[in-house]
Amino acid sequence: MLARVVPGDPRVLTALLDSVAQACGAQACELVWDGQVVARGQGSAGEVLAALDVDWEHASAQLRVMAAQPRTLTRDEMRAFHTATQTVQTYLDATARCVSLARERPLSDKLLAALEYLTDALILLRSDGMVEFVNTAFEHATQRSRHSLVGRPYHECFPASALQRLDGEARPALLAGRPYAFEDHIERLDKWFEFRAFPCEDGAIVLLIDITSRKADEAARQQLEDKLLRAQRMESLGTLAGGIAHDFNNILAAILGHAGMVADDAPAGSPLRGHMDQIRRAGSRARELVERILAFARGGGEEFSRQPLQPLVREAVDLLKATLPSSVRLQVDLGDESCVATVSPSEMQQLVLNLCTNAWQAMEGSQGTIHIRLRCVTVHTPRVCTIGQLAPTQYAELCVEDDGVGMTEAIKARLFEPFFTTKPRGQGTGLGLHMLHGIVDAHSGAIDVRSTPGVGTCFMVYLPVVESQGPVKVEALQEAMRPGHGEPVAYVDDDPIVLMMVEQLLLKAGFAVTAFASPDEFLAAMQSTPGRFQVLVTDFNMPNMNGAELAVAARAIDPSLPIVVTTGFVSEELEAAAASLGQMAVLQKARSYEELAELTALAAQGFPESRFGDTGLAML
C-alpha cells in the first residue's frame, strides 16, 4: 500500500489527537486513511469507541477514539467528539491549502535560504492577499509560527493599528507601483517596528524592522535635551537677576544716602523728615530684596558649621504658629533621628517660613492642614529633582505638604524663576522660592515638588547629611558633591547631537572630556597615547562596531580601563558581556541626565561601593 502523507506538522497533529481523546474521555485517538493509520496520539488502546469522517482537499479519512474496554460514549462525550473532529478537519484543510500554494509556485532553495538568513522580519504576500511565505525572523518578531500564517489572509498577521495603515496608506501606494514605509508600535509585543512594503510581480513584500532600540535612543535624547535646556534656562535667569540686583544696589545706595542727608538737614518738626523716613523704610525693604537676590549668587568663601536640624525646624515652627490663622492646622513630625547638616539657623527659618506661608496662601478660604516632616533618607540611585540632583549618599529631607488647590505643570515648571508669582499684583515679589533655590544650591542640596490640581502640593527639600566635626568649608562641601575632578574621560557616540549634549553634561560635572564621533577615532587615539583616558563612556548602538565590541577592542589596548556603555535597550546579552569583561557598567540611556555623571565618577574610582569614602559626607 502506498504511504499516505498527511499535511501539517506531525507534532501539532499528535497534540490535536491527544486533545480529542481527552475531550471524549478516551485513552487514544488515531487518524485512519484507506485503512492505514497515518497519525496517532501518544496514548494506545484496542477498542474503537466511535469514528467520524474527516475530509481535506481531495482526501477522506476517519478519526477514531479508542479505549481498553468497549463502551458507548455519553451524549456529552459524543458532542465533544464532533467539536474536536471539526477542529482537526479545519487544521488539515488549512495546512493542505498551504501545501497547494507552495506547489503552485515553489520558491527556490537558494531564495529560501537567503530569506531565512535575513535578520529583518519578512512576509511575502500573493496578489489575492494570502500569505505565501514568512521567514524565521518574522516568526520571532511576531511570536507566531509560520504554520499558523502561511495560506491565511494577511489581515490575520498584523495587529489592528498596523493593519489600518497597511490598508489605508500602504495598499494604495502598492497598487500604484510605489513602495511605502511607516512606523508603528505593537502593544502586544511592546515593540516599535518600521514597516516597509514593496510591490512585486504577483503581490507584495513587507519587511518589519525592529526599531525599539532606536526609538528608546530618540526618546532618551529628547529627554536629555529638555532637561539640559531647563537647567540652562534657570541658570541664565539667576545670572540675569544677579546682574540686575548689582545695578539696583547702586541706585538704592544713592536714594538712601540722599534721603538720609535731607532728613538730617531738615529742621525738627519739618514734614520733610516724615517723608524722608518713609523713603528710607521703602529703600530698606528694597535693599533686603536685593540682598536676597544676591544671596543666590554669593561666593563660596564662608564657612558653615554643623547644625542639628530638629531644634532649628522646631524653632521655625514656633515662629510660624504666631503668624498662621487658627483655621490652618499644623501637623509636625520631626522624627527620632538626629539629622546634621550645614544649613544656618536663619536659612532653615527662611526655608520653613517661606514654604509654609506659600502652603497657607494656596488654601481656599485659608482653611486646611500643613504637614511638616523631617527625616534622614538614604539615596542609593542618583535622581534628578525639580531643582538640583541627588547623589548616592544620606540626606536630611524636610517635607512641607498642604491640601490646597495644587498647581498645573505649566506653573510648576516656572516656580523657581525670579519674579514669577501667581499672586495678585502687590501681594508677592516672586523671589521667595528663588531664594530657597539659592540656599539649597549653596549647600549642594535639591528640591523636589509634587503637585496635583485640586489635591495639594508637597515640597521636599534635601540637604546632605554631614558627619565631620567642626566648621565645614563651602568649597569642600561642593567639591565633595561634584562627581568629576578633572579625570580624563573619552565619550564615543555616532549621533552628533547626543555627542555634543553628553560632552557638555560631563564637562559640567567636572570631567575633562574628549568626544569621538566613531569607535575608530577613539581606538586610534588610544593606540597613539596608551593610558590617556581614565574612563571610557560609549553609546552601544553604532554602525560597524557596537559599544560591546568597542569595549573588547579598548581592553585589548588598556586591560584596566573602566567602561560605561549607554543604550536605549539593556539586553541580557549586553549585561552578560559587561559581567564577563568586568569593570564595565551598562546604563539605560534615558537615565543619562540623572545617573551618567555619578556612574562615570564611580568608574573613575574603580566602581567602589560609594565615592564619598574620604569626604565629610555621610557614607551609605
Which domains occur in the chain, in start order? 10-104 (3.30.450.40), 109-210 (3.30.450.20), 217-296 (1.10.287), 303-478 (3.30.565.10), 483-604 (3.40.50.2300)
Nearest to 68 by CA among 36, 32, 28: 28
**3-state percent helix, strand, coil for the chain, nearest multiple of 5:** 45, 25, 30
Do 328 and 368 touch, CB atoms closer than 8 A? yes
Residue 611's alpha-carbon distances to 410, 482, 600, in angstroms, are: 36, 11, 11
Answer yes or no: are the C-beta atoms of 592 and 220 closer than 8 Å: yes
Helix (H, G, I), strand (E, B) or coil at 402: strand
Q: Give backbone dihedrals phi and psi of 421, rounded to 5 degrees, phi first.
A: -150, 150
Select from 115, 118, 120 the least CA-distant residue to 132: 115
The answer to whether 24 and 81 have CB atoms below 8 angstroms apart is yes
State which residues of the chain have pLDDT below 50.
1-3, 104, 296-303, 614-620
Backbone angles phi, psi at 500, to 5 degrees: -65, -45
The three grid cell numbers given for residue 458, joined into one nine-digit string = 508637597
Amino acid at 237: L
For 150-296, where are the alpha helices, taking DSSP H only? 160-165, 171-175, 212-265, 271-296
User: Residue 336 CA to chain centroid, in angstroms?
Assistant: 35
Q: How far apart are the first and last CA of the chain?
A: 80
Parallel, antiparallel, or unpaired for β 121-126 and 131-134? antiparallel
Backbone angles phi, psi at 474, to 5 degrees: -60, -40
The residues, any chain, with a CB within 8 Å of residue 451's CB and separated by 6 or more, are 406, 407, 412, 457, 458
CB 352 within 8 A of CB 316: yes
Quick one: pLDDT at residue 159?
A: 79
Task: Provide the residue count of the chain.
Answer: 620
The kind and range of the H/E element at 321 are helix 309-321
Q: What is the pLDDT of residue 499?
A: 86
What pLDDT does 3 receive?
47
- Cβ burial, residue 43 (10 Å; 0-12/13-18/19+): middle
